[in-house]
């Protein structure tokens, strides 16, 4: 982890820190030259190409204890510890760390920023070698398979042949499934959480609203805002607000906010944020624009929309896992309406049809899609048990030994 300190006092200094991160991240970076381009599904070769990643824990001598974590839409490689560019805690502090379910005392944990992201892996905010300016829309559209392909390049660089486990939720879970399909021999165990084998029409629709909100902002400047010195803050904030609702459940919003007023006892009969839920949403929007790049939001949502694993295997999802010797554990949450349990069941049915080893857990929770990021004891138990069993099967020393 980095020890470089940056000034994060003002929104402007935080914005600068984020922008700097796109080319020169605080994390570890591997740079691939023209001899090793990233071959994209769009049919182009991205070069030069760099991957920004963090690792936690120690790789054992047999190189058999590596766990790859795949991040979701708005995540990045800073899984735990203080984020060097936002000053906030990592996004999976509850799950990853010494003695936690993904135990950094025992496992070598890797997380890489995805291509198209804005935290140091090449993306639309990175400098285009053709002209030295940020790519903007000149950046090619990437897919979930491209993300996984980039991670395989990283593993090659690190000298890791087979992952003990690959895990992640939401878009991270899509990557887990893609890993199992693209590199079955490199995946000992796969733990996809709150995810689907294809993005639904409703989910594409919500993403399209977010993209339209960004593109409707005059400060977006056809994607050239970094060059022209503007920032489509309002559009990105609206996109985030709409998306954020989909990450929670009706029940969670009711429990957290209900119809309670914010700092008042009665309605103001105005368009102020009378209700706590409005105030909360506005905060979600405005804090997101400080840490995320609007074009990255376009590219990463697009990658999720394009994800349809069965389509790459003749329309039959089971064919994606044919002959797989990986062990799977699929997890969904009862109140997740973005990636409902029916999506998880499709994955499980396909894995069963392909003869794979699979267990499935639907966890009772009212926290909605975001449950995989939150305090969910049952998720922790399942994750710990699944990884422990995989480690044992792979001949690693058991916990506490």
Answer yes or no whether residue 208 interacts with its own copies by CB under 8 A: yes
Report yes or no: 204 and 210 within 8 Å, Cβ to Cβ: no
304: contact with its own copies by CB under 8 A? no
Name the minimum Å distance from CB 395 to its own copies. 42
229 binds its own copies, rule: CB under 8 A: no
Q: Known catalytic residue: 170?
A: yes
CA–CA separation, 92 and 292 (whole Å): 18
Residue 306 binds its own copies, judged by CB under 8 A: yes
Q: Which of 5, 43, 62, 132 binds its own copies (CB under 8 A)?
A: 43
Residue 359 bears catalytic tag: no
Q: Which is nearer to its own copies, 31 or 254 (CB)?
A: 254
Among 10, 99, 271, 400, binds its own copies (CB under 8 A): 271
- Residue 206 binds its own copies, judged by CB under 8 A: yes
Applying CB under 8 A, what is the total number of residues that bind its own copies?
Answer: 58
| Catalytic-labelled residue, pool 336, 343, 365, 370 | 336
Residue 222 binding its own copies, by CB under 8 A: no
**Stretch binding its own copies (CB under 8 A), from 65-73, 117-125, 267-275, 321-329:** 267-275
Q: SS in 3 state form for the chain?
A: CCCCCCCCCCHHHHHHHHHHHHHCCCCEEEEECCCCCEECCCCCEECCEEEEEEEECCCCCCCCCEEEECCCCCCCCCCCCECCCCCCECCCCCCEECCCCEECCCCEEEEECCCCCCCCCCCCCCECCCCCCECHHHCCCCCHHHHHHHHHHHHHHHCCCCECEEEEECHHHHHHHHHHHHCHHHECEEEEECCCCECCHHHHHHHHHHHHHHHHCHHHHHHCHHHHCCCCHHHHHHHHHHHHHHHCCHHHHHHHCCCCECCCCCCCCCCCCCEHHHHHHHHHHHHHHCCCCHHHHHHHHHHHHHCEHHHHHCCCHHHHCCCCCCEEEEEEECCCCCCCHHHHHHHHHHHHHCCCEEEEEEECCCCCHHHHHCCCHHHHHHHHHHHHHHHHHCCCCCCCC
Site for its own copies contains 198 (CB under 8 A) = yes
The residues in 92-131 that bind its own copies, with binding defined as CB under 8 A, are none
Q: How far is the CB of 399 from its own copies (least distance, A)?
A: 41
Active-site annotation holder among 27, 74, 150, 170: 170
Q: Is 199 a catalytic residue?
A: no
Nearest distance, CB of residue 216 and its own copies, angstroms:
4
**Which CB atom, from 131 or from 342, has the smaller least distance to its own copies?**
342
Q: Which of 290, 308, 366, 388 is in the footprint of its own copies by CB under 8 A? A: 308
263 scored as a contact of its own copies (CB under 8 A): no
279 to 282, 283, 370: CA distances (angstroms): 5, 6, 19
Binding piece for its own copies, criterion CB under 8 A, among 16-24, 109-117, 164-172, 243-251:
243-251
Stretch touching its own copies by CB under 8 A, among 22-30, 121-129, 151-159, 280-288 = 280-288
Residues noted as catalytic? 170, 336, 369
Which residues of this protein are in contact with its own copies, per CB under 8 A? Answer: 41-43, 137, 140-141, 198-202, 204-206, 208-209, 211-213, 215-218, 234-235, 237-238, 241-242, 245, 248, 250, 253-254, 256-259, 267, 269-271, 273-275, 277-278, 281-282, 285, 298, 302, 305-306, 308, 311, 337, 340
């Amino acid at each position: 982890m980095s020890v470089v300190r940056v000034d994060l006092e003002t929104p402007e200094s935080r914005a600068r820190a984020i922008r700097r991160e796109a080319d020169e991240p605080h994390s570890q970076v591997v740079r691939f030259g023209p001899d090793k381009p990233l071959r994209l599904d769009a049919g182009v070769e991205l070069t030069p190409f760099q991957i920004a990643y963090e690792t936690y824990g120690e790789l054992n001598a047999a190189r058999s204890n590596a766990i790859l974590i795949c991040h979701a839409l708005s995540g990045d490689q800073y899984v735990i510890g203080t984020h060097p560019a936002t000053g906030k805690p990592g996004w999976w502090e509850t799950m990853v760390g010494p003695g936690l379910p993904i135990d950094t005392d025992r496992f070598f944990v890797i997380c890489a920023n995805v291509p198209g992201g804005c935290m140091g892996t090449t993306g639309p905010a990175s400098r285009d070698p053709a002209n030295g300016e940020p790519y903007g829309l000149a950046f090619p559209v990437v897919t979930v398979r491209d993300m996984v392909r980039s991670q395989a390049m990283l593993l090659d660089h690190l000298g890791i042949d087979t992952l003990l486990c690959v895990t992640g939720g939401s878009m991270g879970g899509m990557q887990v499934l893609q890993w199992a399909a693209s590199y079955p021999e490199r995946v000992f165990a796969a733990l996809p959480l709150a995810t689907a084998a294809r993005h639904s029409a409703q989910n594409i629709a919500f993403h399209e609203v977010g993209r339209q909100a960004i593109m409707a902002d005059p400060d977006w400047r056809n994607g050239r805002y970094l060059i022209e010195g503007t920032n489509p803050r309002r559009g990105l904030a609206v996109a985030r607000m709409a998306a954020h609702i989909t990450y929670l459940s009706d029940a969670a919003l009711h429990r957290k906010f209900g119809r309670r007023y914010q700092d008042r006892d009665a309605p103001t009969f105005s368009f102020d944020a009378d209700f706590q839920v409005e105030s909360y949403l506005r905060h979600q929007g405005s804090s997101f624009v400080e840490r995320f790049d609007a074009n990255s939001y376009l590219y990463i949502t697009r990658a999720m929309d394009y994800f349809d694993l069965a389509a790459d295997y003749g329309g039959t999802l089971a064919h994606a896992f044919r002959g797989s010797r990986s062990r799977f554990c699929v997890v969904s949450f009862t109140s997740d309406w973005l990636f409902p349990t029916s999506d998880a069941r499709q994955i499980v049915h396909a894995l069963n049809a392909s003869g794979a080893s699979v267990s499935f857990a639907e966890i009772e929770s009212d926290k909605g899609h975001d449950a995989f990021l939150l305090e969910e004891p049952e998720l922790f138990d399942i994750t710990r048990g699944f990884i422990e069993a995989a480690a044992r099967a792979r001949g690693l020393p058991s916990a506490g030994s």
